[in-house]
Amino acid sequence: MQGYKTYILEIYEHAIEALVKCKIKRDVVDYRMGYKKSRKPTAAFSEFLINRQLGDWAESLFRTEINKKLEGFKAVKYGAAGRLVVGDPKFNNFFENYHKEIKRIGKRPDLLVFKRKDLEDLKLPDDISEMESSHLQNVAKKAIVAIEIRSSKYYAATYKEVTKKEQSFTPKLEDLPVLTHWIVEHEVPCFYTQIFFDEIYIISFEKILQIIKETGNKYIRRMEKNQRKSTFYIPLSEGK
């Protein structure tokens, strides 16, 4: 897998250069320059809570479906999202530990897919997100692929029919370095899945990097629905 790690880093470096040429600061997109912890939120807004519930639904749906249809493989919950919100007495401790882990190994994708036999041998449950961090890293390296889930409040087919436009994959700019860091640390390929109410699309993380390498900041937008965070809106036709 050393070849895969080198391959991902090579595409990542080209993507960084393309973004830097578009006036995006290098230290924003290159995890090797040090991780910058985001500011602690001061309130849990209703829109955030609704989006989190939608994300939880999408993740559960995808995990259930993939486990029904992929014989010999199984997806388990892995991402360190947590259920705490601002105002909970335990939130500050969770927030600090969460960002310490990102600094050390990158951001965990939402799901990991294992061979069922490996899961049985390791005696792993359906949810490994709360497993002790140092042990979890060794377990995660045995996964076949990792999956990052993005949810959308649309019917993709209806939207395209009415507007004559297609929906998008929506990876965030801030996730680019921390997910690359995770992939490099674990040497496990990662895929983005965009889930709509009627359809599901998937694209590899390396394809996302390749698109950024070729287009720079062309697909970046800052939209209210994504908390005005810089987000790539990559056409669904780029995936499957």
Residue 118: pLDDT above 90?
A: yes
The total domain count for the chain is 1
Q: Residue 146 belongs to a domain with what CATH number?
A: 3.40.1350.10
126 is in which domain, residue-wise? 2-238
Residue 190's closest CA among 174, 209, 215? 209
Decide: 101 and 137 in contact? Cβ < 8 Å: no
Lowest mean pLDDT among 3-17, 68-82, 192-206: 68-82
Q: Tell me the per-residue pLDDT of 172-226, one tens digit each, with 9 for 90 and over.
A: 999 999 999 999 999 999 999 999 989 999 999 999 999 999 999 999 998 655 5
HSE-up (13 A, CA, CB side) for residue 57: 12
Please tell me the pTM assigned to this model. 0.89
Tokens of 239: 């995936």
Determine what percent of the chain is predicted with pLDDT higher than 90: 64
Measure Cα distances from 70 to 17, 62, 73, 190 in Å.
Answer: 38, 12, 6, 17
Average pLDDT taken over every residue of the chain: 88
Cβ-defined contacts of 213-218 (< 8 Å, 24+): 213/11, 213/14, 213/15, 213/17, 213/18, 214/18, 215/18, 216/18, 216/19, 216/21, 216/22, 217/19, 217/22, 217/24
Q: Tell me the per-residue pLDDT of 147-187, one tens digit each, with 9 for 90 and over.
A: 999 988 888 888 888 888 999 999 999 999 999 999 999 99
